[in-house]
């Protein structure tokens, strides 16, 4: 069976929009007569697993496979589009994370849907679009949810050393990158998407990039010119739990982090070292944070609203 080194590249703005930690209680259902899209289409979509199999069949040969960015996101003109699962649609509509959601049908995370919707007003805000998405999920998927507050694991990251010294993988962003970011903000230009797989462990100004090596379960995260909240988002995603920033670090930073991931990439075997591999094992996340970034990960418990999926069906015809 061929093995692949997989690199997933994500624009920082998109990742943070989908990944910021929100722990406030959410409305369990759209209001009667709430906002709705003017037009909406939902069709069966191609999953990352199907794309990986197609790439392997076409002669991937054990090299790198670049995946497109799966997920749904707002677009100019009051539009919403993407290829994603019902789980991801619920997360966006209700402004929650995966660890804030339970229940649902067996296909919640495996069946992909191609969605395209448009609001009546081109100036509809992201919050308004998410409210329309709630109505769409109720109407087309028959979605019903409720919210319960539970005690769950929560984490905090702090600076490990008393003198405040950081690790080699966590550095303040260069003045050149800061100037580039200000210029992009002024002109509205987006960070250029890399044309190929990113160079491992090399932060790129304005981007959050992630990669995973199937042979060793080594995950790499590089962040260029972003606040510490971007790193917190990545840690929270890996742990599947809320993470609070207790570092007190202000401003923009570059991050290069490698650790042993417990997550599984779509279309790849479960994490674990290939018995025939000569690669060394990466270190677990807590140790990697302290050794490479000079940060400490502390665990506790706290209350968190959990959205329970009571019912959902495959979408009705367009």
Q: Enumerate the domain spans of the chain.
A: 28-141, 152-302
pLDDT for res 68: 46
**What digits encode the pLDDT tens for the residues 36-58?**
999 999 998 877 777 666 666 66
84 pLDDT above the threshold of 60: yes
pLDDT for res 21: 37
**SS3 at position 127:** helix
pTM of the model: 0.71
Sheet holding 295-311, edge to edge: 101-103, 295-311, 144-159, 243-245
pLDDT for res 277: 62
Tell me 242's DSSP state: -
**CA pair distance 37, 115, nearest whole angstrom:** 12
**CA pair distance 245, 297, nearest whole angstrom:** 10
| Comparison of pLDDT for 282 and 179, the residue scoring more | 179
Can you name the residues that pair with 253 across neighbouring β-strands?
Answer: 172, 226
**SS3 at position 119:** coil
| 213: enclosing H helix or E strand | strand 207-213
pLDDT for res 74: 86
Residue 217's pLDDT band, with cuts at 50, 70 and 90, is: confident
**SS3 at position 287:** helix
Nearest-Å Rg of the Cα atoms of the chain is 20
Mean pLDDT across the chain: 82
């Amino acid at each position: 069976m061929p093995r692949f080194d997989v690199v997933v590249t994500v624009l920082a703005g998109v990742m943070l929009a989908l990944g910021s930690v929100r722990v406030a209680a959410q409305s369990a259902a759209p209001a009667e007569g709430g906002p709705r899209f003017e037009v909406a289409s939902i069709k069966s979509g191609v999953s990352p697993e199907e794309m990986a199999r197609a790439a392997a069949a076409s002669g991937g040969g054990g090299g790198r496979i670049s995946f497109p960015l799966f997920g749904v996101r707002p677009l100019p003109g009051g539009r919403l589009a993407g290829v994603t699962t019902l789980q991801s649609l619920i997360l966006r509509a209700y402004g929650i994370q995966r660890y804030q959601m339970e229940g649902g049908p067996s296909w919640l995370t495996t069946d992909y849907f191609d969605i395209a919707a448009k609001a009546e007003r081109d100036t509809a805000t992201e919050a308004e679009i998410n409210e329309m998405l709630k109505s769409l999920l109720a109407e087309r998927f028959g979605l019903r949810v409720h919210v319960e507050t539970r005690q769950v694991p929560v984490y905090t990251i702090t600076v490990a050393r008393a003198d405040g010294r950081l690790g080699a993988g966590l550095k303040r962003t260069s003045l050149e990158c800061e100037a580039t970011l200000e210029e992009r903000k002024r002109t509205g230009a987006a960070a250029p998407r890399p044309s190929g797989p990113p160079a491992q462990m090399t932060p790129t100004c304005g981007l959050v990039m992630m990669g995973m090596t199937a042979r060793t379960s080594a995950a790499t995260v590089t962040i260029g010119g972003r606040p510490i909240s971007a790193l917190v988002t990545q840690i929270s995603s890996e742990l599947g739990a809320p993470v609070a920033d207790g570092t007190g670090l202000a401003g923009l930073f570059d991050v290069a982090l490698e650790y042993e991931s417990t997550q599984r990439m779509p279309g790849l075997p479960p994490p674990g070292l290939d018995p025939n591999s000569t690669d060394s094992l990466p270190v677990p996340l807590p140790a990697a944070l302290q050794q490479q970034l000079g940060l400490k990960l502390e665990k506790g418990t706290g209350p968190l609203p959990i959205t329970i999926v009571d019912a959902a069906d495959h979408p009705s015809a367009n």
